[in-house]
Structure 1
């Protein structure tokens, strides 16, 4: 490699800000609520008795951020960041599934499989967004004060929250709340 090219590579690497170490931890909890019925009508009625009968399953996800910083040489920089993802998924559980007719069991299995695919789509989008937040925080430049650095971290967290709300809402519209993926309970 010519001397000039070698010096250019050294200069580019020397001017690049060091990347902040970011760790990402996740807690994933799956919950169930019961529905009951030995006929299609009774099973559907059981869903309708719920507080929000149109929501068959739900994924809730949140992100908390912890970080350490240090002030020196007139600037405050992140030393490390820990992102904590918390994901909760709630699915229905049919109490009498083992006693239902073959037709009802087949319909339930198809419905539940599609519902799981739909909810996994929410989880995947949240995980992708979390990786984007991780990348942005790792590249966050030093600030003139630690208060300014804290505000910069908060702005990135707020940006993440807004992006996730938009992305998850678009996913619901695109899939018609899972119906386009087959997450509809049909007995015909």
Structure 2
């Protein structure tokens, strides 16, 4: 069951076009320079600048969703959202191998590709959150005042972000931070 659920998520995240949501994804790498007698796992642990909750990770994805909306008064003096703009920005940090033996490079390349795929799914959560925020704000019913509408719209956006952060945490728990997807090195 677990696998089937994530296959659906991966399929949904594979879509590049996300309604009218503007998106950008940047990459940042860090060098890994293994000694010839060192395992790739040890070299990554030594080189990684990514530390979260006291744990070292080899890859990391950050995403942000920003939304703006404009409203207008209706004929019956209610306030309705007229236009919505959503932007999703992301950054994926991954290791880059500098040097290494042929067997180290081969092992690293397989591992890095699995890690990259795992991190892309993390970014996809941001894209899905952005799309849901855009759709939800476009479909909010009118309010008696523009202040009430603004409050409701922002509460809606933040609630959606919380939901997607929880889904993202669940994804990491169920995949063991990518281990079940091949983003793991046994030495």
Which one of 88, 93, 105 corresponds to residue 91 of structure 2?
A: 88
- Provide the residue aligned with 1:77 in structure 2: 80
1:123–1:40 distance in 2 versus 1, CA, 3 Å: farther
The alignment's TM-score, normalised by the length of structure 1, stands at 0.79
CA distance in 2, matches of 1:147, 1:39: 64
Q: 1:108 to 1:186 in 2, by over 3 A?
A: farther
Q: Give the drift of 1:64.
A: 0.6
TM-score (norm 2): 0.79
- CA drift of 1:43 comes to 4.6
**Residue aligning to 1:103:** 103
User: Is residue 2:13 matched to residue 1:26?
Assistant: no
Q: Aligned equivalents of 1:40 and 1:154: distance in 2?
A: 54
Contact 1:107–1:186 (8 Å) recurs in 2:
no
CA–CA distance in structure 1, aligned partners of residues 43 and 106 of structure 2: 18
> Counterpart in 1 of 2:3?
none
In the alignment, is the contact (CA less than 8 A) between 1:59 and 1:119 conserved in 2?
yes
How many Å separate the matches in 1 of 2:37 and 2:56?
Answer: 16
- How far apart are residue 132 of structure 1 and its match? 1.8
| Bigger mean CA deviation after superposition, 169-178 or 44-53 | 44-53
Give, in whole Å, the separation in 1 of the partners of 2:112 and 2:39. 17
Gaps of 5+ in 1: 1-21
Aligned residue runs from structure 1 range 47-86, under 5 A: 47-49=44-46, 50-51=48-49, 52=51, 54-72=56-74, 73-86=76-89
RMSD over aligned Cα atoms: 1.9
Q: Which residue number in structure 1 is paired with residue 32 of structure 2? A: 35
SS in 2 for 1:87: strand
Per-residue deviation, 1:176: 0.2
Counterpart residue number, 1:157: 157
Query: How far apart in 2 are the matches of 1:94 and 1:63?
Result: 31
